[in-house]
Structure 1
Amino acid sequence: MELQTERLLLRPWRESDVPALFKYAQNPNVGPIAGWPPHQSEDESREIIRSVLSDSGNFAVILKATNEAIGSIGLMTLRSTIHTASIAEGECELGFWIGEPFWGQGLIPEAVDELLRYAFEELAMRAVWCGYYEGNVKSQRAQEKCGFKYSHTEEQKPVPLLGEVRTEHFTKLTLEEWKKRRKK
């Protein structure tokens, strides 16, 4: 399945995306702030595609102008093995990251808007959760820009891939709030 925006294609990850994934995921400014370590090799990126990013609901963020994978976005449901929010039936959690050269261009909000449309209109979700670790101001701003409202903070939250504990802030957007935003 593929989703499209003006500048982006959201599609399943492919083995051919390994070089692009490694190029952006090896940057220490990208993964750790989102809770995962920088990739150390293309082999590691290949394994991440096979074991994590190939799960249903995960999409490569493809820049249409170059046809290159520049980030990742996904929806995690109760059936997903990875989610940090306490979600209920009819709810999901949205996660994303984008390569540093593309920060500040509005590409993640563009991708998030399309994934929210998909979650609410096609998956019939009642609410979508999102989270960011303390200090990840870019993610916080992207969530606010997309209509997410602060819900709560959890202290001493384990970050298993980094062997740390952090403070995580959670935001939420309900179907009703999303519909109101779309009418504006």
Structure 2
Amino acid sequence: MNLQTERLILRPWQESDAEALYKYAQNHNIGPAAGWPPHTSIENSREIIKTVLSAPNTYAIVMKETEEAIGSIGIMTLRSEVYSANMANDECEIGFWIGEPFWGQGLIPEAVNELLRHIFEDLGQTAVWCGYFEGNTKSQRVQEKCGFTYSHTEYDRAVPLINDFRTEHFTKITLQDWIAQKNAGLRPNDAVTQ
């Protein structure tokens, strides 16, 4: 199933996206901030599409204008292999990243807001969690813009993909908060000024 916004299509990853994925995921400013190592080759990216990004509810963020995959966004539930938040059965967690040339254009908040709509309206979840590692202010800012509020901090969390331990901050948005923002006439990312 594809989701769409004004500028983006969120669709399942395809092996043909490997070159675009490598183009952005090899950047050392992307993966380590999110807890995964930079990609080392197009073949490495193709393998990650097959083994990781093929998970259910994992989407390539595709620019409508160019049809190029420029990032990734996904939903993790208790049935997923990977998730960080301590969530209930009717809650989920999201994660995201976007290629550095696209930073600061509001594309990730646009993708997150559409994913939140899908999660609450189509999937019937009651809350969505998100997290960011200490120092990842870009991810923190996206979460704040999209209406997530701080929940708690966990220290010395293992980050096995990069063999590290980090402090992770968790945020959350409930269905009630999302509806309240919607009813107030605010898009979630308008709730916090830029």
User: TM-score per shorter chain, which class?
Assistant: over 0.9
Match of 1:41 in 2: 41
2:177 partner amino acid: E
Distance 2:138 2:65 in 1: 24
- TM-score calculated relative to the size of structure 1: 0.99
The alpha carbon displacement at 1:35 in A equals 0.3
Distance 1:117 1:72 in 2: 17
Secondary structure, aligned partner of 1:29: coil
Distance 2:92 2:58 in 1: 13
Distance 1:132 1:165 in 2: 13
Deviations 1:139-167 (A, max 9, x none): 00000000000000000000010000000
1:1-184 mapped onto 2 (5 Å cutoff) = 1-183=1-183, 184=185
The alpha carbon displacement at 1:87 in A equals 1.3
Deviations 1:17-74 (A, max 9, x none): 0000000000000000000000001111011000000000100000011100000000
Distance 1:24 1:149 in 2: 29
2:59 partner amino acid: F
- TM-score calculated relative to the size of structure 2: 0.94
Secondary structure, aligned partner of 1:53: coil
Distance 1:126 1:29 in 2: 33
Q: Percent identity?
A: 66
The alpha carbon displacement at 1:88 in A equals 1.0
Match of 2:188 in 1: none
Unaligned segments of structure 1, at least 5 residues: none
Secondary structure, aligned partner of 1:158: strand
Distance 2:182 2:103 in 1: 25
Secondary structure, aligned partner of 1:54: coil
2:42 partner amino acid: E
Secondary structure, aligned partner of 1:55: coil
Distance 1:65 1:52 in 2: 26
Unaligned segments of structure 2, at least 5 residues: 186-194
